[in-house]
Chain A
Amino acid sequence: MLRRLRPVRQLRLSRKNLFIFPSSAGFGYLFVNLLLWLTGTNYENNLILATAFLQTSLFVVCIHHTFFNLTGLTLEVVHTGSCLQGENAELELNLARPSGRGRENIQLGYRRETLLTLDLIEQCSADVKLYVPGLRRGWCPPPRLLVQSSFPLGLIRCWSWVAFDMPMLVYPKPLPGGDLPLASVAQQEGDLIAEQGAEDFFGFRNYVPGMPTRHIAWKQYARGQALYSKEYVTYQGQSLWLDWDALEGLGTEARLSRLCYWVLQLGTVNQPLGLRLPDQELAPELGPEQQQKLLRALALYRWQQAAAEAVE
């Protein structure tokens, strides 16, 4: 059934994409209804029977009201954000109703436990921000969004699973640790001279007793990593190259994760940063745009293959 619902940018809810079924409260209601009917029949009491029949037909009428509470609503995805793998990306939705009846108690969400409830009683449209888990690296389509309502009486549940074709960009999951995967060319571009008391933070180096204790990276140590010493350097040549090949012996995802970690770490360093991947090279540049570019390159590095493997 779900296959019928193709991913779209904008969806108008209608009988083609809505499902409807009594809720558990609805079954409880029908049970009470049955008890009433039995009472009315046993006492041969026409008014009790009439109440039971009124209850039954209220149930039937509710099916229509619940359906009409959702049908005609338009869901449009306005913007999708990006995120690290395993975290949540932002998804901006616009929910609009045709003029006429107000719509109430519309629930949106990716998990039944955490649904967002909103009403469109007076206003005709509303912007909604949802948080979508980024599960796979690369262009990741958001999972199907559950849109449901059991308005008016909670007896009937009407719902749809909406797939949007606006994918989110998911970066690799950063994995701390390891040495800074600097390319050997770094030395050629300019000499790094480690200086005691230099101003710029450069990176970490395994702590060896005897190094100044004030440079110990306590933060990292506290996270359960090895004891590192922060290195402060003064740069000559000024460019850092993060290199795929410097992480020999690791798998593709592991290398991407490390690289991602370092791109994020070094993003704050006032230093041009470059990236060398097997099939592309991004020249060192400064600034947050460069960081975005590098992350994007990491996210999209052979992502289709990775996705295919993940599916298998």
Chain B
Amino acid sequence: MAERQRLLPRNSLLWLLGAQTLAMAPLLLELPIWLTLVWSGVLLWRLLEFLGHWQMPGGLTRMTLVAVCVSGLVLSFGRFLGMEPMVALLICAVLLKQLEVRQLRDAIVLVYLTYFLTALQFLFSQTLLAGVFGLLCFCVNTAALLAIHQPQGHQFPLRTLRLAAVLLLHSVPLMLLMFLVMPRLGSLWAVPNPGHTATTGVSDSMAPGDFVRLSRAGGVAFRATFQAGLPEREELYWRGLVFSRFDGRRWQQAEAFDYLRDGSPVNWQSERPAPWRRLAQPRGRPVSYRVVMEPSQQPWLYSLGLATDVRTSASLPLGFTRDFRLLSAEPVYQRLAYQVNSALDYALEPGFLPNWRRRNELALPAGFNPQSLAQARQWRQQWPDADEYIAGVLQYFRAQFVYSLQPPALGRDSVDDFLWRTREGFCEHFASSFVVLMRAAGIPARVVAGYMGGEFNELENYVVVHQYDAHAWAEVWLEARGWVRVDPTAAVAPERVRQSLGDSRAADIESLVSLGRYRHIQWVAQLRLHWDAIQYRWDRAVLGFDRNSQSQLLERWLRGTSPLKIVLLVLIGGGLALALLTLHLWWQSRPPRRSAAQRFYQRAERLLARYGQRRAAGESAAEFARRVATAQPGLAPAVERVTACVEAMLYEERPVSALQLKQALAELKRALRRSGLVTKVLL
């Protein structure tokens, strides 16, 4: 089409560059640094060219840039399937296109690509701030699209921005309606997920120092809302992983073949309950809660006590593991919400532990920590009863040990070093050495990793669990009660259980710029709670709005989700939104109310037209009066009087009384009737 070959309005280039810079900024943070450098180069070149200092790049420069981009992509990623390489490829396409924008069509392609980039930033972050920033990008990009269609209007940047904002405001109601009603189809095909993003939270193994690092990671692990009341803080042990294998330094999960005799170690929701599920006996009333987990890039989910039931609306299946915790089929790449029922009072594998299980839970690596093993055997002789032995060991911890966020390094025999030399440690040191002491004394024991406690936000009634709440504790198997939770850290530092680490040691674990560090100041603490509550609400209402919430909402609004009702909702809602918009546009472009002079003159004109005297386009009232007077001398006095009235009002701004106007019209009527009967045109 011809209009597409038009050149770009000059200033609209600035809009294009601005919109792209905004949309790319969050993506460039996630991608290799050379992309940022190339983009700055392109930006600079375009600006210099815009100012008239430089020329558009020649073919050679562009070829070089293509080579740089291709080699950069290959060197950085080495593959093209994956989310980051694809986004990087798209950005390269935008960069190269930017260097040859001359015509309207190129600019339109760029704007469309920028719309796409604006949306892609949500693959990396979906926080409320990201949402607001995305909306800003969308608005500026729309302004850019608007500016390239404004031959003169683009010279007033504020006007362009305002028009774009008006367009967006007009679009919002319809967008909300679509958001609420459009069916969510779920993933249509497998898509690459963010690859490089570092895993966060508790990892699949535990070595000394891991949890100390985790306590400084910052950020939220998950949030949980309890349907009934909040359990006691001492009950908030969020189980995530169970470590049964120990190699002398590092704790790891049991392998699948450790549970070979019981069949598959994972029992997915879609399958029939495995026979080993009966080994867990919930007691008392279950606690029901909803967990919204932040992306951790790892498959374990967190739950309290013994999870008996779990549901999610996400498409990935969830399951129970043989060591009675929750697992997702895929790593949690995106925020995941699930609903859990847990028994806080329960018995796990009580009464009898088969020999092969007992072997696994008692295994210790040969040749490590000899001093600890000897001491354990000696104590066991002193306290033959398991409960007594446990109490004795805890007493030893309580009396001799210090809880510290900066524990000294440990050597090869880490448990020996810790128990008999440094005596200063973090939760993982206590859990690890406690389990070793148990196993050495013939009591089956294992390490459990997860989170402890959380911060209660009374504004929205939920518990927010931070990364610094990460915790490791122990489970020991007692014949009568099965697996029992023992937290050796609590014996050393009871405040760690009663109070969040964030509250007690904010200065150690929060970065200098975070609100959390200054939470001892009351208004900062309030602000922090409010901000987290807003984010939580955003997570629940916007990010968590899935197929289930959609059908629940429609059910509540329409009392039933028959297709007819939904169609009616769309028609009425959409129609209303568009009607309001139309009304607004009409109101802005409605013809102005005519002044008294104009109305008066129009009536006179209508009268004259009825007798065949029409004012030509562009003819002034005086000219018209002269023409009428020449054609119909009999009308002259009446027409002159009318004209005089109009001119007085319009040009001299002299008020003329309504009576005078009435008389003038009446005189005109009389004159017309007298003279014009012959020439009257029947309309």
Contacts and interface: CB of A to CB of B under 8 A. Distances in A.
Partners in one complex: yes
Interface stretch (A32-40, A220-228, A289-297, A303-311): A32-40
A54 B175 contact: yes
Given A41-B185, A51-B119, A71-B589, A57 B542 contact: no
A247 to B, nearest CB: 41
Contact of B578 (A23, A64, A101, A112): A64
Q: How large is the interface on A (under 10, 10 to 19, 20 to 34, 35 or more residues)?
A: 35 or more
Given A43-B123, A105-B149, A113 B163 contact: no
Contacts of A76: 617
B606 interface: no
Given A45-B334, A119-B153, A57 B145 contact: no
Interface in A23-57: 23-25, 28-29, 32, 35-36, 38-57
The secondary-structure label for the interface of chain B is helix
Contact of B3 (A48, A97, A121, A150): A150
Interface stretch (B30-38, B186-194, B273-281, B403-411): B186-194
B618 interface: yes
B545 interface: yes
Given A36-B115, A41-B184, A64-B581, A115 B2 contact: yes
Q: Which of B174, B184, B582 has the most CB of A within 10 A?
A: B174
B576 to A, nearest CB: 13
B131 interface: yes
B1 interface: yes
B234 to A, nearest CB: 36
Contacts of A99: 591-592
Contacts of B334: 43-45
Contacts, number: 187
B504 interface: no
Contacts of A115: 2-3
Contacts of B119: 36, 39-40, 47-48, 51-52
A68 B584 CA distance: 11
B150 A46 contact: no
Contact of B149 (A57, A113, A152): A152
Interface in B147-165: 148-153, 163
Nearest to A149: B149
B112 interface: yes
Given A47-B542, A50-B179, A115-B3, A58 B171 contact: yes
A58 B188 contact: no
A36 B115 CA distance: 9
A197 interface: no
Contacts of B514: none
A44 B187 contact: yes
Contacts of B590: 98, 100
A202 interface: no
A102 B582 CA distance: 16
A94 B134 CA distance: 44
Interface string A75-100: 01010000000000000001001111
Interface residues of B, number: 66
Given A42-B191, A104-B151, A10 B116 contact: no
A107 B123 CA distance: 41
Nearest to B131: A47
Nearest to A57: B174
Interface string B184-212: 11111101000000000000000000000
A23 B3 CA distance: 11
Interface string B166-188: 01101111110011001011111
A61 interface: yes
B432 interface: no
B314 interface: yes
Contacts of A28: 108-109, 112
B545 A46 contact: yes
B589 A44 contact: no
A102 B151 CA distance: 13
Contacts of A42: 187-189, 191
A144 interface: no
Nearest to B119: A51
B75 interface: no
B179 A51 contact: no
Contact of A36 (B116, B185, B588): B116
Contacts of B352: none
Q: Give the 5 A-B CB pairs with smallest separation, nearest first.
A: A57-B174, A47-B122, A53-B178, A57-B171, A51-B119
Given A40-B119, A99-B592, 20 more contacts: A25-B108, A28-B109, A36-B119, A41-B186, A42-B189, A43-B334, A44-B187, A44-B315, A47-B126, A49-B184, A51-B119, A53-B182, A61-B170, A61-B581, A78-B617, A98-B592, A100-B589, A101-B585, A105-B149, A105-B151
24 contacts: A28-B112, A36-B119, A39-B119, A42-B191, A46-B543, A47-B542, A54-B175, A57-B175, A61-B581, A64-B582, A65-B167, A98-B591, A104-B151, A105-B149, A112-B1, A113-B2, A115-B2, A115-B3, A118-B151, A121-B152, A151-B149, A153-B142, A153-B146, A153-B149
Interface of B: 1-4, 108-109, 112, 115-116, 118-120, 122-123, 126, 130-131, 134, 138, 142, 145-146, 148-153, 163, 167-168, 170-175, 178-179, 182, 184-189, 191, 314-315, 334, 542-543, 545-546, 578, 581-582, 585-586, 588-592, 617-618
Interface of A: 9-10, 23-25, 28-29, 32, 35-36, 38-58, 60-62, 64-65, 68, 71-72, 76, 78, 94, 97-102, 104-105, 107, 112-115, 117-119, 121, 150-154
